[in-house]
Amino acid sequence: MTEQKTPSLSGEKFIKTLSHLIHSVKIHQDNNQLIKDALTELRGCLAELAPDEALTLQIWRGRFHIQGERVVYRRETFAIINSMVDYFSQRELGGLGFQAGVAQVADEKLVRFIRLLGEANKHTDPPAWLELQMEKEGFAWVEILRKPDEDAQPHGEGNGQGLGPDDGQDQTHQLEKASTVYGQARSAVKELAEKSAQGSAGVRKARRLAQAIVDIVREDNALLLGQVQHPSDDGYAHAVNVAALATCLGRYLGLAPLVLEHLAVAALLHDLGKQGDPQAKPFKESGSPDEWEALRRHPLISVKRILKMNIPSDIRAGALAGAFEHHLNLDLSGYPRTTFLKQVSLFGKILRIADAYETLTNRGDTHLRVLTPDEALRRMWSERHKSYDPILLKCFINMLGLYPIGSIVELSNGALGLVMGYADETRKDRPLLTLLVDDGAGGLSPGEMLDLTGTAASDDTPPLHIVRSMHYRQVGIDPAQMFKEGLKASLGDGALSNAIPSGR
């Protein structure tokens, strides 16, 4: 079922203006015209958002809330909003409270406040330092809010996406939906590939699948990211995994739903040239020169098959780009050979990253064994300037964390854990885990949840940390299944369930 809220963009405007003011103050003197303009605009926003009353700006689960309501923003301002989230996180700020009448505060005082805000991250406890400075300066019109307890609802009544008492049920429903979609996706891709190999395929089913993927990602990308650690030897599962990863990255970048749908379709179709032809020899990346040549041709065969499909032109453009470019490096090296192509498209760059990550973690490339998710990210990061768009790769790693959801890690106390997400998005090395415990039958089963950011050192025990990661083939578990079970278990426990992060 669909629902749509009427977006109010005044919150977005306020954050944008605040960001602009922060940047201007960083560069210019107090009396600079740009600063004056930004202040005027900020006052206008304050008057619009909270005329004659106090205004609360809070971050909760990586999202801005104003007066307790989640800030709606357009995709083009995503990057600014995201940078502001980082700005607040770096200062360990939960938010800011402005008293009624803040719009009347003198320019120099507002600028002074922004300068203090800028300096705060140099201090060990930025919120405490800021509180002290506010007191010293006599700035009673602003209140420094510390990071909230994210188990609670944001300030105010709100309609954020937090898990209230009933949300556990919704989350379970979403998880089931994600699981169903994911489980059925492979057969859908297989059917599509076979039809396209025979030269007659439509894209309607792929669109439905893509729409379902986008809907899940928009709800909570963790639900899909938790499924992608799974063998994808036959290529169909690979396409589904790449679609999940690419759509999550697209969502992280702020692509609009319709573009996300096109991206997901492109991902589902990107390897059509490798699939669906029962007469074709299997592609082996470590094969003979002939097999290698055949492998290098698969993007072109994908292009041919996409061209033969009944497919709307706007979707076709993205699908062709994805199919043709997903083995091209930024400098257009890689394959296929290019003469006319001037640069790799955004879809191509995203699929390059998603495809490589999926291959490294689930299938292994020419020379290597399969890698654990964190190893794959390290490998890709070390090749960032040659093979991938470094900025998009940064986003990809930020999105997944250093230990992506579904990773299996060994802790300093010898316990094994499955990464479920990140409670604190600024600590990409300290994920939230489901501990894997002996099931009494020689296998492992999900146990308690453990938030590594919360494992502070005590007098006699050092804080727990990750010693190494392990591949699911090493351990012999299905991480996707374990993720599902772990999440279900956590949803039965309200307190822990709230720590499962929602994707952006």
Partner 1 sequence: MEIEAARKIVASLLLARKNQALYPEGHTIWKNAVEALHALLASYTKTYGTLRIYIEKDQLLVRNEVIYSGTMEEGALPVILFRDGIRWLAFMPEISLGEVQTLLDIINRYSMLSDVSEGDIVTALWEKKPPHIGYEVADFAWGEETGSGAGSASEEGLRAMPPQRQAGPTDWSPIMDPPIDQAELALSFEDITAIQAMLAEEHRDPTHTLEILLDGLQYREMETYETILAALADTFKRALVNGDLQTVLKLLQGLQDVLEAGRTEMNPGAVKMLEGFFRTISRPALLEPFGKMWAELPDGRIEHVKEIFTYLQPEALPVLAGCLQLKQSPAHQRMLEDLILTLAGRDIRPLEELLKGRDTKAVHALIPICIKLPGERPLKLLMELVRHPSESVRQEALKGLMSKGSVHMQDFYNLIEDKDPSIRRLILKVMGQTRDHGAERFLLSYLGSDSFRQAEEEHIMLCFTTLGQCGSSRSIPFLRQTLLGRGWLPSFQPLPHLKGAAVALKKLKLKESQEVLEEAGRSLIPRVRRIARREIA
Among residues 314, 438, 439, 493, which is the contact residue for partner 1, using CB under 8 A? Answer: 314
Report 20-39 residues binding partner 1 (CB under 8 A): 23
Of the two residues 91 and 155, which places its CB atom closer to partner 1 in the complex?
Answer: 91
341 belongs to the binding site for partner 1 (CB under 8 A): yes
| Contact indicator for 479, 229 with CB cutoff of 8 Å | yes
Q: Which H or E run contains 84?
A: helix 78-90
Beta sheet of 408-411, edge-to-edge order: 444-451, 432-438, 416-421, 408-411, 466-470
Q: What's the closest the beta carbon of residue 203 comes to partner 1, in angstroms?
A: 5
The residue whose two tokens read 């971050």 is: 59
- The 8-class DSSP code of residue 360 comes to I
Cβ-count burial 65-102 (b if 16+ within 10 Å, e if not):
bbbbbbbebeeebbebbbebbebbbebbbbbbbbeeeb
Of the two residues 156 and 231, which places its CB atom closer to partner 1 in the complex?
Answer: 231
Which tokens in the block code for residue 338?
């290019």
Count of alpha carbons within 13 angstroms of residue 155, beta-carbon side: 18
Give burial (CB, 10 Å; 0-12/13-18/19+) of 314.
exposed
283 belongs to the binding site for partner 1 (CB under 8 A): no
CA distance 237 to 219: 22
Per CB under 8 A, the segment of 51-59, 151-159, 274-282, 302-310 that binds partner 1 is 302-310
402 belongs to the binding site for partner 1 (CB under 8 A): yes
Number of residues that bind partner 1 (CB under 8 A): 108
Write the CA distances from 220 to 162, 351, 374, 382, integer angstroms: 11, 20, 21, 29
Q: Which of 171, 337, 306, 338 is nearest to 239 (CA)?
A: 306
Q: What's the closest the beta carbon of residue 50 comes to partner 1, in angstroms?
A: 26
Of the two residues 142 and 377, which places its CB atom closer to partner 1 in the complex?
Answer: 377
Site string for partner 1, 354-383 (x = CB under 8 A): --------------xx-x---x-xxx-xx-
Q: What's the closest the beta carbon of residue 487 comes to partner 1, in angstroms?
A: 16
| Contact indicator for 137, 116 with CB cutoff of 8 Å | yes
Which tokens in the block code for residue 188?
């859908």
Among residues 100, 132, 134, 346, which is the contact residue for partner 1, using CB under 8 A? Answer: 346
| Count of Cβ atoms closer than 10 Å to residue 194 Cβ | 15
Site string for partner 1, 469-488 (x = CB under 8 A): -xxxxxxxxx-xx-------
Of the two residues 47 and 467, which places its CB atom closer to partner 1 in the complex?
Answer: 467
CA distance 374 to 489: 25
Report 431-450 residues binding partner 1 (CB under 8 A): none
Report 179-218 residues binding partner 1 (CB under 8 A): 180-188, 190-191, 202-205, 207-209, 211-212
Among residues 307, 454, 492, 493, which is the contact residue for partner 1, using CB under 8 A? Answer: 307
Per CB under 8 A, the segment of 43-51, 163-171, 330-338, 449-457 that binds partner 1 is 330-338
Site string for partner 1, 65-84 (x = CB under 8 A): ----------xx--xx-xx-
Of the two residues 105 and 371, which places its CB atom closer to partner 1 in the complex?
Answer: 371
Among residues 100, 134, 280, 300, which is the contact residue for partner 1, using CB under 8 A? Answer: 300
Q: What's the closest the beta carbon of residue 132 comes to partner 1, in angstroms?
A: 27
Q: What's the closest the beta carbon of residue 375 comes to partner 1, in angstroms?
A: 5
Report 121-180 residues binding partner 1 (CB under 8 A): 180
Of the two residues 181 and 248, which places its CB atom closer to partner 1 in the complex?
Answer: 181
Beta sheet of 142-146, edge-to-edge order: 69-70, 63-66, 55-60, 93-98, 142-146
CA distance 185 to 195: 15
Which tokens in the block code for residue 239?
């396409």
Q: What's the closest the beta carbon of residue 227 comes to partner 1, in angstroms?
A: 8
| Contact indicator for 19, 9 with CB cutoff of 8 Å | no
4 belongs to the binding site for partner 1 (CB under 8 A): yes
Q: What's the closest the beta carbon of residue 283 comes to partner 1, in angstroms?
A: 16
6 belongs to the binding site for partner 1 (CB under 8 A): yes
120 belongs to the binding site for partner 1 (CB under 8 A): no
Per CB under 8 A, the segment of 311-319, 406-414, 416-424, 492-500 that binds partner 1 is 311-319
